[in-house]
């Protein structure tokens, strides 16, 4: 039975794992986080549920549409009717989908029946005895015939350097060309419903804030009102290392009409160092020159975003 190790339990890694497993491969997915999903992230604060990474996704390809239709039937995914509004993303005119219980519910469902090991930070990889040998911070050692790396490209490059693995100049250049925007995200629970207009989101084209979502109107936080705020890339770069509570309050203070000060109950702030990609690799994945199959993929490849990560994972698996 062929085997594969996958580093990163986001959409790309889980999709590749599902496809390979369905073809009889022995697959192990490793992720440094306590949970899975990457930016398909949902947080619980008090009685509220808040999506604080990816806010929605589209399904434009037949392969992803088939997966989403199954998730809709299983009551994991539903539509968020942002279309035909001023906040609709001009990048696509397809339905907007979300997890009914938050975006993390989508990847949790996709991870069922897979071997996914969390809190396993990979520190090195190398070829040993005709297999990949991957070592983790906890002392774990894992072997496989193929290695798929789906973490953000800068993290992949850091792992390559730490491992001392000799990639080609061309492969290094391809990975180095992938760039990301940072994003500071503010999550606030409220005493009463916000003033965010229906259907629960506001998009800003200029300024320090790009996005405000009302998670109750979105449908994922029925028990307590809450909002998610995304700062702009420029603001996030300028304040990335600043005191988080201070930054969170500054961003909240910019929205008095939508979220009056007396409506704030609690605030939490999260830094996304690698949020949306500014520059992506043109193909869905990179097959590196190596003695054994070594593939790089994720939302920094191909179309980007959630569906692009799915396509990346699917195409890596099909390549193998």
Q: How far apart are CA 55 and CA 147, in angstroms?
A: 30
- The answer regarding whether domain 180-272 maps to CATH 2.60.34.10 reads no
Percent of the chain surpassing pLDDT 90: 95
pTM: 0.95
What residues contact residue 91 under an 8 Å CB cut-off, 6+ apart? none
Closest CA to 320 of 287, 281, 282: 287
Domain with CATH 3.50.50.60 in the chain: 3-34+118-178+281-319
DSSP designation for 263: G
DSSP designation for 292: S
How confident is the model at residue 94, as a pLDDT? 81
Q: What is the CATH number of domain 3-34+118-178+281-319?
A: 3.50.50.60
CB 132 within 8 A of CB 143: yes
Domain with CATH 3.90.660.10 in the chain: 180-272
Does residue 275 surpass a pLDDT of 80? yes
Q: Which of 1-10, 76-85, 138-147, 200-209 has the lowest mean pLDDT?
A: 76-85
């Amino acid at each position: 039975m062929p085997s594969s190790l996958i580093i990163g339990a986001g959409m790309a890694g889980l999709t590749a794992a599902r496809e390979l497993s369905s073809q009889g491969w022995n697959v192990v997915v490793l992720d440094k986080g306590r949970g899975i999903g990457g930016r398909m992230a949902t947080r619980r604060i008090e009685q509220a549920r808040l999506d604080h990474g990816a806010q929605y996704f589209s399904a434009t390809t037949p392969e992803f549409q088939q997966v989403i239709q199954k998730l809709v039937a299983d009551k994991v995914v539903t539509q968020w009717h942002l279309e035909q509004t001023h906040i609709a993303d001009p990048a696509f005119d397809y339905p907007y989908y979300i997890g009914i219980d938050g975006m993390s519910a989508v990847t949790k469902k996709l991870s069922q029946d897979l071997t996914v090991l969390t809190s396993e930070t990979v520190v090195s990889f190398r070829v040993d005895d005709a297999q990949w040998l991957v070592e983790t911070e906890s002392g774990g050692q894992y072997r496989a015939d193929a290695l798929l790396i789906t973490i953000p490209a800068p993290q992949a490059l850091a792992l390559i350097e730490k491992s001392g693995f000799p990639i080609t100049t061309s492969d290094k250049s391809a990975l180095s060309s992938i760039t990301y925007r940072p994003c500071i995200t503010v999550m606030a629970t409220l005493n009463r419903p916000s003033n965010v207009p229906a259907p629960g989101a506001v998009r800003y084209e200029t300024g320090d804030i790009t996005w405000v979502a009302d998670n109750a109107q979105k449908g994922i936080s029925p028990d307590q009102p809450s909002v998610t705020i995304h700062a702009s890339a420029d603001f996030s770069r300028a304040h990335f290392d600043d005191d988080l509570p201070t930054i969170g309050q500054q961003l909240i203070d910019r929205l008095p009409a939508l979220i009056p000060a007396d409506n704030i109950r609690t605030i939490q702030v999260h830094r996304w160092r690698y949020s949306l990609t500014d520059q992506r690799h043109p193909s869905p994945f990179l097959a590196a020159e190596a003695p054994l199959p070594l593939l790089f993929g994720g939302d920094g490849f191909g179309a980007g975003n959630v569906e692009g990560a799915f396509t990346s994972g699917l195409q890596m698996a099909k390549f193998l």
